[in-house]
Amino acid sequence: MILSGLIFLPLLFALIITVWPQRNTVRHIALGLSVIEFVISLAMLQKFDPASSALQMVEKTTWIERFGISYFVGIDGISLMLVMLTTFLVPIIILASWNSIDKKIKGFHAALFILQTAMLGSFLAMDAILFYTFWELSLIPMYFIVGIWGGARRIYATIKFFIYTMAGSVLMLLAIIFMMRLTPEVTGGQISASLLDFYKLRIPFIAGEFFTAQTLLFFAFALAFAIKVPIFPLHTWLPDAHVEAPTPGSVILAGVMLKMGTYCFLRWVIPLFPEATEHYSWIFMAVGVIGIVYGALVAMVQPDVKKLVAYSSVSHMGYIIVGLFAMNAYGVNGALYQMLNHGISTGALFLLIGMIYERTHSREISKYGGLASALPIFTIIFVIVTMSSIAVPMTNGFIGEFLILLGSYQYSPWVASIAVSGVVLGAAYMLWMVKRIFFGPAGEIVKHAAHDKEHALHDLSVRELVVLAPLIVLIFWMGLFPNHFMDYSKASVDHLIKNKMGYSLVLTGEGK
């Protein structure tokens, strides 16, 4: 029952927060509850067997018998670290939002816990309808987080995000229903929504013919996940959502929600439609490398530091897509690792931007300059996170991007040659941004703070250091000892690569 506890305890926490009578202690209660969730996830991690590629800690019970829909959850090496990332980031987000969220505090924390349930459910669901329920549920709390606590253009950004994501999801739902109608041929006559039964289907595919069942189903699922990632050219909702979201919303969006899309390519698209994946992989390789270069070039000219980091996400997610569709051990392991890296490094960048915005109320790069002399500790931490983002050796980003480039080279040296340009461009726009904000002549903000004691700049507080310390530790831990993390996914990835033309999962634990 540990997985059900992980999924549904945040819903209980949301209820507790909603009815909590003392407004001034809501943050403390929310932080304590989120830490309890993280501790439970650590217990789950201890129970997990990294040597097995089987689906572990399985819980399965009939939900809607007539349509073969079950409450079916399980975990393997592909989903494990994303579950850990989700439970790890939520306490950090709550602590980081201590001062920035100052209205409807109960509503914010309740929405965050509901979103946590939806994200964890999406990673752990092994029934298509159950998965779809959690997938769609994630839109609702995020809609309110951006729409209520966001910036001046929050309504526009929220509606754009909602419409984009819903549009892709409708096609995915139709594809799920179609596949459910095919399952009686592999279940002995019983309709089923189980992902394991979907894996048993052999859906017709004819190379060169678009209107075949497998090709249409492949693109129906792929479109929904491509929008969530987002892949170029479906990315236009992301910069608006990031810029208008409050800092906690940007962190959870970059840290976890975007990974729902890349995870689902690995869990659903690639194993369900192996022939179509192999035949059309060039399309995703192409949009992946275009996204890498395009995101980097657009980031380079952004005057708003938050928008710069938002476009850097487009570039980084392009690397993950390239790794996934290389369909070899280097590429897939690198893509999974880069999902974690991006959640840590980009999440930390958004936290740092939020901290400086609380002090200056500006995100315009041109107004900064010389900030290092006023905020030396902040500068050191920002530079460390920047090094992670641009994949400097000994940081987490290096491992993921290096493996992805190795995998893409095995797929095609031309793909790797273009993708590696993103490393150079990433270093260019990130280091140029650091130079303009922290070094050189004092900018407008630093000059104003020097002459106005009311607006004096203060370095990081103890609370802010506590928020950032775990992320800095992970940046170096993941960069220096990657096997401590990759060993958990190795068996599952090897199984996927070995059986990519007929993927299957076996069960262990409850519900076998």
Digit-coded pLDDT (tens) for 262-310:
999 999 999 999 999 999 999 999 999 999 999 999 999 999 999 999 9
Predicted local distance difference test score (pLDDT) of residue 505: 57
Average of per-residue pLDDT across 471-498: 93
Long-range contacts of 147-153 (CB under 8 A, 24+ apart): 148/104, 148/107, 148/108, 149/101, 149/103, 149/104, 149/108, 149/245, 149/246, 149/248, 149/249, 150/244, 150/245, 150/246, 150/249, 151/243, 151/244, 151/245, 151/246, 152/244, 153/240, 153/243, 153/244
Predicted local distance difference test score (pLDDT) of residue 204: 86
DSSP type of residue 64: E
* Mean pLDDT for all residues in the chain: 92
Predicted local distance difference test score (pLDDT) of residue 369: 87
Digit-coded pLDDT (tens) for 32-73:
999 999 999 999 999 999 999 889 999 999 999 889 999 999
**In-domain check, residue 113:** no
Predicted local distance difference test score (pLDDT) of residue 507: 59
**In-domain check, residue 78:** no
Phi/psi for 72 (5° steps) reads -135, 110
Q: Residue 272 and residue 493: Cα distance in Å, rounded?
A: 15
**In-domain check, residue 355:** yes
Is 70 exceeded by the pLDDT of residue 463? Answer: yes
Predicted local distance difference test score (pLDDT) of residue 502: 47
Predicted local distance difference test score (pLDDT) of residue 202: 87
Residues with Cβ within 8 Å of 185's Cβ and at least 6 positions away in sequence, in order, are 201
Is 70 exceeded by the pLDDT of residue 239? Answer: yes
Is 50 exceeded by the pLDDT of residue 511? Answer: no
**In-domain check, residue 339:** yes
> 88: left (phi > 0), else alpha (psi -120 to 50), else beta?
alpha
Strand pairing report for 56-64 and 69-75 = antiparallel
Is 90 exceeded by the pLDDT of residue 256? Answer: yes
**In-domain check, residue 206:** no
Domain encompassing residue 469: 281-501
Average of per-residue pLDDT across 428-453: 86
Q: Please give the tally of structural domains in the chain.
A: 1
> 10: left (phi > 0), else alpha (psi -120 to 50), else beta?
alpha
Strand partners, 181: none
- Residue 204: how many other CB atoms lie within 10 Å: 10
Tokens 């400097």 — which residue?
Answer: 392
**In-domain check, residue 115:** no
Average of per-residue pLDDT across 370-382: 93
First to last CA, the chain: 14
**In-domain check, residue 202:** no
**In-domain check, residue 216:** no
**C-alpha angle 340/148/36, rounded to 5°?**
45
Predicted local distance difference test score (pLDDT) of residue 96: 94
